[in-house]
Amino acid sequence: MQPLVEIAEVEKHYGDFHALKNINLTIGKGEVVVVIGPSGSGKSTLCRTINRLETITSGSITIDGKELPKEGKGLAALRADVGMVFQSFNLFAHKTILENVTLGPMKVRGVKKADAVKEAHALLERVGVAQQESKLPAQLSGGQQQRVAIARALAMKPKVMLFDEPTSALDPEMINEVLDVMVGLAKEGMTMVVVTHEMGFARKAADRVVFMADGEIVEQATPEEFFTNPKSGRAKDFLSKLITH
């Protein structure tokens, strides 16, 4: 396994609060890691530190062998290597769907407009929203907006994609249309870190499940192993609640 993201001895404090405790996690090229755990366990914080939306207190995070710079041009370039899709769709409200997908590549990657448009067409086709490209985000359903958010992130040609509960804000009937796009990406070999409560997705697409509680990685295993034979009390407790609700 060739490492793509290497997180070593990472600590994160918010003031007095210890949000990430000695996180060590290496994600290989093409690997799909699903992160699960109770609310407040540090899953979003972990995602946000990987592309430096949050700074870390100590430790190191490298992407493709390069340590994340603290600021400046280097940071912008490295951040462009990390695509991120959040729970809320975060599209530019006053830009069309097509503009949402072409802006980043043109501004950050210096892609020519004609090329950015061509690529955006292909991506919007792939996520199944090509017919909507001249609309504004608010004119689309939540599931469609989230698929545009994925297309927008992919347009930057990221090395790794982070998903932080991408289906949590969606109506139930729209969840699968987003998960299907993610399963497709996983199958094509995209390196992915996915925070989700969708255990079906974890079983179908994850190479590894990482279980977090109280800012720590408590255990990690293949989905098969983790779901049939969780080792820690915390994981057993978490899974039993998922099943009964």
Q: Which stretches of the chain bind ligand ADP, using CB under 6 A?
A: 14, 17, 19, 37, 39-45
- The minimum distance between CB 212 and Mg ion, in angstroms, equals 10
Residue 231 vs residues 100, 112, 234: alpha-carbon distances, Å: 44, 52, 9
| Contact predicate 181/187, CB 8 Å | no
- The minimum distance between CB 147 and ligand ADP, in angstroms, equals 23
Residue 135 vs residues 107, 140, 225: alpha-carbon distances, Å: 21, 8, 45
- With a CB cutoff of 8 Å and minimum separation 6, the contacts of 158 are 80, 81, 82, 83
For residue 220, the Cα-to-chain-centroid distance in whole angstroms is 18
- With a CB cutoff of 8 Å and minimum separation 6, the contacts of 236 are 230
Selected from 44, 51, 132, 196, the binder of Mg ion by CB under 5 A is 44
Stretch that binds Mg ion, among 13-21, 40-48, 61-69, 182-190 (CB under 5 A): 40-48
Residue 23 forms beta bridges with which residues? 10
Nearer to Mg ion, 111 or 202 (CB): 202
The partner in contact with residue 166, picked from ligand ADP, Mg ion, none with C-beta cut-offs of 5 to 8 angstroms by kind, is none
- The minimum distance between CB 193 and Mg ion, in angstroms, equals 13
- The minimum distance between CB 68 and ligand ADP, in angstroms, equals 18
Give me the phi and psi of 150, to 5 degrees please: -65, -45
- The minimum distance between CB 220 and ligand ADP, in angstroms, equals 16
Nearer to Mg ion, 43 or 79 (CB): 43
- The minimum distance between CB 165 and Mg ion, in angstroms, equals 6
The partner in contact with residue 42, picked from Mg ion, ligand ADP, none with C-beta cut-offs of 5 to 8 angstroms by kind, is ligand ADP
Q: Identify the CA nearest to 178 among candidates 198, 193, 158.
A: 198
Neighbours of 110 (CB within 10 A): 8
Instruction: Give dist(CA 238, CA 115) in Å, integer.
Output: 47
The partner in contact with residue 40, picked from ligand ADP, Mg ion, none with C-beta cut-offs of 5 to 8 angstroms by kind, is ligand ADP
> To 10 degrees, what angle do helices 142-155 and 97-108 make?
20
Nearer to ligand ADP, 13 or 203 (CB): 13
Number of residues that bind Mg ion (CB under 5 A): 2
45 binds Mg ion (CB under 5 A): no
Residues contributing to the site for Mg ion (CB under 5 A): 43-44
